[in-house]
Structure 1
């Protein structure tokens, strides 16, 4: 059957819901589409269907014929097949086993003083520079970059290059730039592994090097995976959360009165941040039946987490930003087999950032409405190009 629906449906925006996607979601939970790269795919928009498929081992990131696999776009890392088809499940198990100890509850709790210090330092610099300021450039982008940099043991003076390369990798419209960024990122990862083997520190890469069972290439792959996963998605949640809080004075004042509510604000920010992120890419390893539709072996399946997180059957007022939403079973961190190992750290960063921000700048306000913000184009995360504020 020929694809009738052309993606993307709506341009992502920090403050506007995707109305065309909502209309599509109401028609059915699974749709035949043509991707931005012109390839056929299945787009899944129902919450329950996406939750089941996220945990289904019959879907993966690898493909038996990667050179001819359908793609969602031109990002070398995010829009097409990745990994070895024969060993994908084994590699996932290895990855989780090796990385889980660095993100345990005890380890993340021990990271809190460091995250608080980084946040405080960023806010100090913003205060010293004085208003106006760009909250995206002053806090939302550098906080996850610095935290992940500390975690991996990346020298401070080299972290700007990592941001440059991760931005290039996520470019969905320029395959050459994305591929070059991926090569640069992996080459840097290997160089860092070599340095850590010679002079280990108290960081994730040094710990992985000491494991004894991982080759340099595998350590670099794990480390750069942590870097990429821990940067843009956290930055997206912090960007959109602060923007929408500042756009609704009542919610800003409520958090100011009770900074202890920051965990709820963080969770809602993660849910709403899915409007800035592209659908999750998977390939069917065998025929999979879902909602009366057969996803054929080798076909591209796109799981629209934004649609899931705004499903009216699960969330009340799904298009609204409710900073005290108590029932919030969003799927931004995945579900089942591939649930995000770094979710506890992302939550910690967001909670610390929101609670410190309202205390330090109680009278902060945006100088443009959230609806006037612009989003970074052709990227995995359509982050706001700036969040102009004053105080």
Structure 2
């Protein structure tokens, strides 16, 4: 195995458009590879499915960035906000993770999410009503983004007027490419987000509503199971995680169909294939890319490679989900694929809490778009599409045309 870390070339448009040839080479070169990833950070990539599955349940691999030896990971968070923003389910381990997850898990059960179906369908139709007369749209800006933003905003009780502010701060905090992020810009966004959430929670405390944030405040004030920093961190995580991956699932799924007309036609002809199609989109080109970060609490050996204590381990789900040892013909999009146990939502205790909601939104959004937008096609060549970089993957824009006359 090469001793030099491989550079993931986020500045290369060809890599951004299709990273999978390089990913395939990395997996074939070895099960664990050092790499320079988003923001210039170094990580150990776990590239094969079985190793990744085991790593996501390995208690020696922490979710807490404070277990990392690379000081840059903490230095990128402003000191005044660092403590509270690190106290999320995403970045905690048991027993704190168990306690925090239990407080919100009821809001994301399959039964509770199923109750949201009529409202998700209503929002979907309203968004499409606004674009079908034109015969063209950017399906990211006009559809894939506002749908999950509206759903999570309503679930949490966030005012509609605040949507663009928290989206802008989120983009500045989490979107990274090949260069290290600007600490001044990131710090400003962190402070603005925290200040906003503090005001929002104070308003909810004074005028509680029938929403998840009001319920969490009641838990904080009456049962003392959340301290104030944890409450702010929970609000931040639910707000941001509630949409940043789903927009890429919807946009990326539609982009994949447009690149594979046979699969598009099959799904149009048989909408019953939608649930399986969503799983295939997640496996084939999912929104978390290249994978899920963990930090070694001690020296850990994976597939014969010893990873030192404090190292960043990136369970490369985007690479592992195309492992031919697990998925036959893995580079082929197949919406009828069976036994599709991908790692796009993670595994183990940190398995994505919002997975049922993301699946529901993906099914409704893509299914309704295919029904209401006949003759759907890209308005640009595939090579002109610009893709998001640095931990999240999906088209940044998706300009399309369709026939408006029949789109009712």
Per the TM superposition, whether the score is higher than 0.5 is: yes
Task: Mark the CA change 1:7 to 1:70 in structure 2 (over 3 Å): closer, same or farther.
Answer: farther
Instruction: Pick from 326, 329, 337 the counterpart of residue 325 of structure 1.
Output: 337
Residue 267 of structure 2 is matched in structure 1 by: 255
Residue 296 of structure 1 is matched in structure 2 by: 308
| Deviation string, structure 1 residues 279-316 (Cα, Å, up to 9, x no partner) | 32211112222111222221211111111111111112
Distance 1:48 1:67 in 2: 26
Distance 2:75 2:373 in 1: 40
Residue 55 of structure 1 is matched in structure 2 by: 57
Deviation at 1:182, TM superposition (A): 2.4
Residue 149 of structure 1 is matched in structure 2 by: 153
Deviation at 1:225, TM superposition (A): 0.6
Deviation at 1:257, TM superposition (A): 1.6
Deviation at 1:353, TM superposition (A): 0.7
Q: Please list, as runs of the form range in 1=range in 2, the aligned pairs for 1:221-240 lying within 5 A after superposition.
A: 221-240=233-252
Task: Mark the CA change 1:288 to 1:189 in structure 2 (over 3 Å): closer, same or farther.
Answer: same
For residue 385 of structure 1, give the secondary structure of its aligned residue in structure 2: coil
Deviation at 1:87, TM superposition (A): 7.1
Distance 1:175 1:226 in 2: 25
Instruction: Pick from 93, 100, 103 the counterpart of residue 105 of structure 2.
Output: 100
Deviation at 1:271, TM superposition (A): 1.8
For residue 51 of structure 2, give the secondary structure of its aligned residue in structure 1: helix
Over aligned residue pairs, what C-alpha RMSD do you find?
2.8
Residue 392 of structure 2 is matched in structure 1 by: 381
Task: Mark the CA change 1:5 to 1:167 in structure 2 (over 3 Å): closer, same or farther.
Answer: same
Task: Mark the CA change 1:337 to 1:169 in structure 2 (over 3 Å): closer, same or farther.
Answer: same
Residue 308 of structure 1 is matched in structure 2 by: 320
Distance 1:268 1:72 in 2: 35
Residue 29 of structure 1 is matched in structure 2 by: 31
TM-score normalised according to structure 2 size: 0.86
Deviation at 1:34, TM superposition (A): 4.1
Determine if contact 1:132/1:389 at 8 Å carries over to the other structure.
yes
Distance 1:73 1:331 in 2: 29
Instruction: List alignment gaps of at least 5 residues for structure 1.
Output: none
Distance 1:243 1:331 in 2: 21
TM-score normalised according to structure 1 size: 0.90
Task: Mark the CA change 1:72 to 1:290 in structure 2 (over 3 Å): closer, same or farther.
Answer: farther
Distance 1:290 1:34 in 2: 19
Residue 4 of structure 1 is matched in structure 2 by: 4
